Amino acid sequence: MVTLLYFASLRESLGCSREEIALPSANPTVASLVDHLRSRDPRWTAAFAPGSTWRVAVNQRMADPATVVKPGDEIAFFPPVTGG
């Protein structure tokens, strides 16, 4: 299982701030996880559509689509940051 977190506009468009899911494949990456999420629900299909802009952190470190994920990881998805 992995924990998925969603922040800001992404949380609002998905109507979800946190969920736990089983990893969809062996040797999964952020990209393969996102493919799985897209195939699961139309809201995720829209939010993660090709060309959409999103960022990801794995275990609270900035990551990218090629980052490998493993059971127990905390994977957070969010829009580009706007602090400061």
Binding residues for other proteins, per CB under 8 A? 5, 7-9, 53, 57, 60-62, 76, 78-84
Cα 71 to Cα 52: distance, rounded to the nearest angstrom: 26
| Residue 27 beta carbon to other proteins: minimum distance, rounded to whole angstroms | 25
Comparison of 51 and 80: residue with beta carbon closer to other proteins: 80
| Residue 4 beta carbon to other proteins: minimum distance, rounded to whole angstroms | 13
**What letters, b where the CB count within 10 A reaches 16 and e where it falls short, cover 14-37?**
bebeeeeeebeeeebbbebbbbbb
Comparison of 40 and 64: residue with beta carbon closer to other proteins: 64
